C-alpha cells in the first residue's frame, strides 16, 4: 500500500477557502474531495461534538480539513461564522431548506457579506418541491429516479449501498457545481447558490439509460437488458470455491477472446440470440464452476476477455494493479483511498488525518483574521479542544 500522502506542489485548488457546516452524508465527502485537491476546508462543528470525546468525528471523509467549534444559536457564534464566510470562496451546508436562513446564515446574509461567495447546498430533495422539507435517506431519494428499479434481480430491486445517490448523484454533482460557480465568480466577481439535490443528480446519471429507453433499446423489465444482468455475457458467476467472477465482454471481439479462454464449445448459442440467453448463461456457469477463482484469474490474466475477480474491501487494498498505481494510501495507520483524479502539475494530497472537533479553532480564527473572535471566545460561543472537561 502506498504512503503517497504529500507533494512538493500544492493541489489545483490551493488558495481556495471553504467553510463547511458539519453534518453527515454526501456534503462531508464533497468537501473531502475539495480538501484532497488542495482547498483549505474549515469544518464548523457543534459544541456537542466538542464535549463528546469518545465520538471525535475522525471519519476518513473529514481528512485534510480543520475543525473549529461554534455555537450557531448564539449571536457571537453567528458573527464569527459570518466573519469566516466573508473570507471564504465557498460555503457548504446540508441542512433542511430554511435552517441556515433561520440562523441568519442563509444565502442572502452570506452573499450580502461576500458577493463572490459560492454557496453550496446539499439536500436529498432539493430546495423546492413538495418533498423539500421532509426527511429522507439515499434509498428513498433514488427510488423515485427510476434507477433503483433497474438494479437487482428479476424478482426485486437491490440496494446499491449509498454510493449511487449520496455520493455519485449528490457529492459529485455538488463538487461539479461548486467548481463551475468558482469559475464564474473568478470571471465576473459574482457568486451564486448551487442547489445540489440527490434526486436531481441521480436522475442525471441515468441520461444514457433514459435515452436507450426512449429509443427502444432498454426495457423497464429488470434483469432483461444488456447491462443489468439480463445478458449472460454481462453477469457475475460463481467459481468452484465459492468465489465470484465478473464476465463483461460486450463487444464480439472481446467475447470471442472470453469464449476461447473459457473453452466454451463451438456449437454454443450465438452471443446476441436473446431467445437462447438462458441456455448460454447455464453453459457459462457450468464452465466457470469447474475451477477456483484463483485459477480463472490466471487463465484470463493479461487478456482482453473483460473478466475480473470480485474482491472484498480488504482484498482490494492488496490488489496488484491498485498498489502499482498507489490507489490506496495509509495515513496514521488507517488505510484509505488516495486522492483522485490525478494531476501532472498539481497533484492532490492528504495533509493530515481527520481532526477531532475543535482541534483548530484558534488556529483558524488567527489564520483567517476573523474579527470579533475574542468576544466570541469570551462568551463561550467559540470553543476549542483544550476546553473539554
Q: Of residues 137, 220, 241, 270, which has the active-site annotation?
A: 137
Query: What is the C-alpha R_g of the chain?
Result: 25
Q: Are 58 and 355 in contact (CB under 8 A)?
A: yes
What span, in angstroms and rounded, lies between the C-alpha atoms of 385 and 54?
Answer: 13
User: Of 36, 40, 138, 166, which is the active-site residue?
Assistant: 166
Q: Is the dihedral of CA 366, 117, 356, 9 positive or negative?
A: negative
166 belongs to the catalytic site: yes
137 counts as catalytic: yes
122: left (phi over 0), alpha (psi -120 to 50) or beta: beta
- Cβ–Cβ under 8 Å, residues 202 and 142: yes
DSSP string of 33-60, one letter each residue: HHHHTT-EEEEEE-HHHHH-SS-----G
Strand spans (E) along the chain: 17-21, 40-45, 66-70, 90-93, 118-123, 192-197, 235-238, 244-247, 307-309, 328-331, 334-337, 382-383
In angstroms, the CA 311 to CA 301 distance is 15
Would you name the residues annotated as active-site residues? Answer: 137, 166
Amino acid at each position: 500500500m502506498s504512503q503517497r500522502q504529500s507533494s512538493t506542489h500544492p493541489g489545483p485548488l490551493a488558495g481556495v477557502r471553504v467553510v463547511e457546516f458539519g453534518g453527515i452524508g454526501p456534503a462531508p465527502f464533497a468537501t473531502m474531495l475539495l480538501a484532497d485537491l488542495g482547498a483549505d476546508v474549515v469544518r464548523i462543528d457543534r459544541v456537542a461534538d466538542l464535549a463528546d470525546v469518545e465520538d471525535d468525528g475522525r471519519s476518513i471523509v473529514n481528512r485534510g480539513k480543520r475543525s473549529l467549534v461554534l455555537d450557531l444559536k448564539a449571536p457571537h457564534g453567528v458573527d464569527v461564522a459570518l466573519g469566516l464566510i466573508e473570507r471564504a470562496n465557498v460555503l457548504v451546508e446540508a441542512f433542511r431548506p430554511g435552517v441556515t436562513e433561520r440562523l441568519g446564515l442563509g444565502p442572502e446574509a452570506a452573499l450580502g457579506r461576500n458577493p463572490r461567495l459560492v454557496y453550496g447546498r446539499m439536500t436529498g430533495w432539493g430546495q423546492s418541491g413538495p418533498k423539500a422539507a421532509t426527511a429522507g435517506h439515499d434509498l428513498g431519494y433514488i427510488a423515485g429516479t427510476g434507477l433503483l428499479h433497474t438494479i437487482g434481480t428479476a424478482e426485486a430491486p437491490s440496494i446499491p449501498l449509498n454510493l449511487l445517490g449520496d455520493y455519485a448523484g449528490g457529492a459529485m454533482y455538488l463538487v461539479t457545481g461548486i467548481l463551475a460557480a468558482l469559475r464564474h465568480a473568478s470571471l465576473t466577481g459574482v457568486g451564486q447558490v448551487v442547489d445540489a439535490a440527490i434526486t436531481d443528480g441521480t436522475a442525471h446519471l441515468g441520461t444514457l439509460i433514459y435515452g436507450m429507453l426512449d429509443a427502444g433499446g432498454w426495457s423497464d423489465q429488470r434483469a432483461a437488458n444488456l447491462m443489468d444482468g439480463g445478458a449472460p455475457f454481462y453477469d457475475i458467476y460463481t467459481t468452484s470455491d465459492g468465489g465470484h467472477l465478473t464476465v463483461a465482454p460486450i463487444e464480439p471481439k472481446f467475447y470471442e477472446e472470453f469464449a476461447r479462454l473459457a473453452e466454451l464449445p463451438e456449437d454454443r448459442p450465438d452471443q446476441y440470440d436473446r431467445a437462447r440467453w438462458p441456455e448460454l448463461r447455464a453453459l457459462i456457469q457450468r464452465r466457470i464452476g469447474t475451477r477456483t477463482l484463483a485459477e480463472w484469474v490466471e487463465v484470463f490474466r493479461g487478456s482482453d476477455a473483460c473478466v475480473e475477480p470480485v474482491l472484498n474491501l480488504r482484498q482490494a487494498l492488496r490488489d496488484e494493479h491498485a498498489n502499482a498505481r498507489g490507489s490506496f494510501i495509509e495515513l496514521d495507520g488507517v488505510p484509505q483511498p488516495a486522492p483522485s483524479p490525478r494531476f501532472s502539475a498539481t497533484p492532490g494530497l492528504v495533509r493530515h488525518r481527520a481532526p477531532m472537533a475543535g482541534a483548530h479553532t484558534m488556529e483558524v480564527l488567527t489564520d483567517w483574521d476573523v474579527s470579533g473572535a475574542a468576544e466570541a471566545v469570551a462568551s463561550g460561543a467559540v470553543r476549542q479542544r483544550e476546553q473539554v472537561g
